[in-house]
Amino acid sequence: MTAVLSVEDLSVHFGPARPVDRVSFHVNPRETLAIVGESGSGKSLTALSMMGLLPRNAKVSGRVLIQTPQGPADMLGLPEKRRRLLRGKQIAMVFQEPMTSLNPVHSIGHQIEEVLIAHENLDRAARRTRVLELMNLVRIPDAARRIDDYPHQLSGGMRQRVMIAMAVACRPRILIADEATTALDVTIQAQILQLLDNLRRELDVAVVLITHDLGVVSQWADRVVVMYAGLHVEQATPAQLFGDPLHPYSYGLLRASPRSDAGLTYRDAPLAEIPGSIASARGEVGCPFRPRCPAAREVCGTVQPPPIQHRGDRLVACHFPGILTQEERHVAAYA
The conformational region for residue 126 under phi > 0 = left, psi -120 to 50 = alpha, else beta, is alpha
- Whether 300 is covered by a domain: the verdict is yes
Query: Which of 194, 225, 256 is the last residue before a domain boundary?
Result: 225
- Whether 87 is covered by a domain: the verdict is yes
Domain count, the chain: 2
Question: Do 42 and 137 sit in the same domain of this protein?
Answer: yes
CA–CA distances in Å: residue 178 to residues 209, 222, 292, 305: 6, 17, 27, 28
- Whether 258 is covered by a domain: the verdict is yes
- Whether 244 is covered by a domain: the verdict is yes
Question: Do 148 and 125 sit in the same domain of this protein?
Answer: yes
- Whether 334 is covered by a domain: the verdict is no
- Whether 22 is covered by a domain: the verdict is yes
Question: Do 270 and 216 sit in the same domain of this protein?
Answer: no
Question: Do 196 and 241 sit in the same domain of this protein?
Answer: no
Question: Do 315 and 186 sit in the same domain of this protein?
Answer: no
Question: Do 319 and 243 sit in the same domain of this protein?
Answer: yes
CB 136, CB 85: distance < 8 Å:
no
Mean pLDDT by 10 residues, the chain (335 residues): 91 91 94 93 93 92 92 91 91 86 94 93 94 94 95 92 93 92 79 90 93 88 94 93 91 77 50 78 82 89 89 88 63 43
Give the residue from 266, 273, 289 showing the smallest Cα distance to 334: 273
Question: Do 199 and 246 sit in the same domain of this protein?
Answer: no
- Whether 83 is covered by a domain: the verdict is yes
Question: Do 20 and 56 sit in the same domain of this protein?
Answer: yes
CB 19, CB 281: distance < 8 Å:
yes
pLDDT for 270 equals 63
CA–CA distances in Å: residue 302 to residues 138, 181, 249, 286, 323: 50, 39, 18, 4, 19
Helix 108-119 and helix 156-168: axis angle, to 10°?
10
Instruction: Give the pTM.
Output: 0.89
DSSP one-letter code for 127: H
CB 221, CB 294: distance < 8 Å:
no
pLDDT for 334 equals 44
pLDDT for 328 equals 37
Question: Do 186 and 252 sit in the same domain of this protein?
Answer: no
Question: Do 49 and 168 sit in the same domain of this protein?
Answer: yes
Residue 53 domain boundaries: 5-225
| 3-state SS class at 98 | helix
- Whether 335 is covered by a domain: the verdict is no
CATH code of the domain containing 183: 3.40.50.300
DSSP one-letter code for 74: E
pLDDT for 269 equals 56
CB 40, CB 27: distance < 8 Å:
no
In this predicted model, what pLDDT tens digit does every residue of 27-59 receive, in sequence order?
Answer: 999 999 999 998 889 999 999 999 999 998 999
pLDDT for 122 equals 92
Question: Do 169 and 253 sit in the same domain of this protein?
Answer: no
Query: Which of 209, 225, 241 is the last residue before a domain boundary?
Result: 225
CA–CA distances in Å: residue 186 to residues 97, 183, 191, 213, 215: 16, 9, 9, 11, 11
pLDDT for 283 equals 67
Query: Which of 225, 245, 280 is the last residue before a domain boundary?
Result: 225
Question: Do 251 and 269 sit in the same domain of this protein?
Answer: yes
